[in-house]
């Protein structure tokens, strides 16, 4: 129950503060921010839905050169933070970039500039970094489907495209809805990437209102708007799942029969997948490597200086502590559930897993509001220091926010390992006199070490990549690699930002590759 209270506290703090303050005058730009947010959500949902589903269908229904390796390489953009791809994209395609420069040299200097810094540009970047959420779930659905209905449609004369549209898409709709829900949650959380493109969403408004004017009332009101968006997304996803009444018989399907492509069709399929992978991952990494090498060659001491080491240590310390905390919480919850915990334990587990669905802006403002309240309480009780600030503006705020946001993936990984432990093993240990603590340390933990390792890795990577929460909650003078990349990129210092950005990507790509490589092609 304590864990659930910690996770729910920031959201409750935002709701209570918003209700207590009464009517608040929102910024005059709130209407335009809402419209921009809706456009960004719609554009990214359409882009990731089409791209993710199309790629999943391509590698599931057809066989072509490099299909097996591409089926798991297409997941790698998950390791590319959107704020990193964003500044690489701008440096390449903006008016002063090499692409538009080459076009002007060929077509003339009077060529109008491409509107890169726009909602459209932000949609492209977010689509390229977030499509793997839809791709993974859609591909899993296509591989698990029993193909009897699809084969029946084909035998009645339907083309592969029509059978896909009328049979397979309805069957895969719950998976697609879940993937799109994850995408929209990530879009709601982001405000660094969209700022690069001069796009002002409601989440950007929360950050700018708090950091620019310290107007807590307006910031909380905007955070409630973001929360309303999140609730609407979850309600839509649940409605799509609830109305889906398509069932397949016979348990797990044998998957679709793949059609072998030859000639130009095979080249087109392979080229399409390679193009997406190149734009979303390979070319940005190559660009970062080139910049980093150039910066190191010019002045290595300036790039890898005391600040670099300090920011790296800050990022690692916070990420490691957060990973340990989230994994420990997950172990306790999974262990309590395993021992037959009642409704309270199951409810706490459900509340904990909801933390990942809360947008970062809401979590950030919630933690700030909660900590300000705690400091005021400390002042009233005479426990605060001379400044009246005890916990506000401390690293503790970042850690609490990380626990709220990242316990969900850690719990899912740990719980999946606990489920695989035979109940007889736990029963035997209990019958031999092992208490709950000894059962966890001597039996459950060794058997679930794989899931624990995955949980630690997932939280570590998420924490290293995290930017919005650190920007909102960091103490004065406290900077991590992600914040440093954002600050350098915001000033167009591409080469200086390349090395820390590349380090973040390389740290993230290892667990992504290891996690999905094994299950990339279950049918060989």
Average pLDDT along the chain, 524 residues, taken 10 residues at a time: 70 72 71 92 95 92 90 90 93 85 82 85 95 88 68 67 73 81 87 90 84 72 81 76 52 64 91 95 94 85 78 90 90 78 69 73 81 74 56 81 86 76 72 72 74 82 87 86 90 88 88 64 48
**Three-state DSSP state, 96:** coil
> Residue 3 has what pLDDT?
65
Kindly list the distances between the CA atom of residue 419 and the CA atoms of 3, 167, 442, in Å, as whole numbers in the listed order.
21, 33, 17
Contact 455, 414 (CB under 8 A): yes
The H or E element that residue 330 is part of is helix 306-338
Phi-psi category of residue 475: left, alpha or beta, with phi > 0 → left and psi -120 to 50 → alpha: beta
Contact 468, 361 (CB under 8 A): yes
Instruction: Please give the CATH architecture assigned to the domain spanning 2-517.
Output: Orthogonal Bundle (1.10)
pLDDT tens-digit map of 419-439? 777 777 777 777 777 777 777
Unique residue bearing structure tokens 């089926």: 71
> Residue 255 has what pLDDT?
58
> Residue 150 has what pLDDT?
65
pLDDT tens-digit map of 32-58? 999 999 999 999 999 999 999 999 989
Handedness of CA 453, 359, 116, 83 (dihedral sign): negative
Beta-strand pair 259-260/62-63: parallel
Unique residue bearing structure tokens 């060794």: 446
């Amino acid at each position: 129950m304590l864990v659930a209270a910690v996770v729910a506290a920031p959201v409750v703090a935002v709701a209570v503060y918003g209700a207590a303050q009464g009517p608040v005058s929102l910024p005059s730009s709130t209407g335009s921010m809402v419209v921009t947010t809706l456009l960004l959500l719609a554009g990214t949902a359409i882009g990731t839905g089409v791209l993710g589903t199309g790629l999943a269908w391509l590698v599931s229904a057809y066989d072509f050169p490099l299909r097996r390796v591409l089926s798991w390489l297409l997941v790698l953009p998950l390791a590319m933070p959107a704020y990193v791809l964003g500044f690489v994209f701008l440096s390449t395609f903006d008016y002063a970039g090499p692409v538009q420069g080459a076009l002007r040299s060929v077509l003339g200097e009077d060529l109008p500039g491409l509107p890169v810094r726009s909602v459209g540009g932000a949609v492209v970047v977010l689509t390229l970094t977030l499509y793997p959420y839809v791709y993974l779930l859609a591909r899993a659905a296509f591989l698990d489907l029993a193909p009897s209905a699809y084969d029946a449609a084909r035998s009645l004369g339907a083309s592969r495209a029509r059978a896909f549209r009328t049979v397979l898409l309805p069957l895969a709709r719950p998976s697609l809805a879940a993937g799109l829900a994850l995408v929209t949650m990530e879009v709601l959380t982001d405000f660094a990437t969209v700022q690069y493109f001069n796009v002002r969403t409601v989440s950007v408004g929360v950050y700018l209102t708090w950091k620019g004017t310290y107007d807590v009332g307006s910031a909380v009101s905007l955070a409630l708007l973001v929360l309303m968006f999140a609730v609407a997304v979850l309600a839509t996803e649940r409605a799509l799942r609830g109305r889906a009444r398509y069932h397949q018989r016979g348990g797990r399907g044998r998957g679709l029969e793949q059609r072998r492509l030859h000639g130009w069709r095979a080249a087109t399929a392979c080229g399409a997948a390679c193009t997406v992978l190149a734009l979303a991952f390979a070319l940005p990494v190559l660009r970062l490597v080139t910049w980093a090498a150039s910066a190191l060659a010019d002045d290595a001491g300036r790039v890898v200086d005391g600040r670099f080491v300090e920011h790296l240590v800050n990022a690692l310390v916070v990420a490691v502590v957060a990973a340990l905390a989230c994994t420990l919480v997950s172990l306790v919850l999974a262990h309590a559930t395993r021992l037959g915990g009642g409704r309270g334990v199951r409810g706490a587990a459900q509340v904990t897993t909801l933390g990942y669905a809360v947008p970062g802006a809401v979590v950030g403002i919630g933690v700030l509001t909660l900590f300000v309240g705690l400091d005021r309480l400390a002042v009233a009780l005479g426990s605060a220091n001379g400044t009246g600030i005890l916990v506000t503006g401390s690293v503790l705020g970042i850690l609490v926010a990380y626990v709220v946001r990242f316990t969900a993936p850690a719990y899912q990984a740990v719980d999946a390992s606990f489920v695989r432990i035979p109940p007889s093993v736990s029963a035997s240990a209990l019958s031999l006199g092992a208490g709950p603590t000894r059962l966890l340390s001597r039996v459950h933990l060794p058997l679930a070490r794989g899931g624990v390792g995955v949980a630690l890795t997932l939280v570590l990577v998420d924490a290293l990549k995290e930017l919005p929460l650190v920007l909102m909650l960091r103490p004065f003078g406290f900077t991590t690699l992600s914040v440093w990349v954002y600050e350098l990129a915001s000033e167009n210092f591409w080469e200086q930002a390349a090395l820390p950005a590349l380090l973040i990507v390389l740290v993230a790509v290892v667990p992504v590759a290891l996690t999905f490589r094994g299950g990339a092609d279950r049918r060989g």
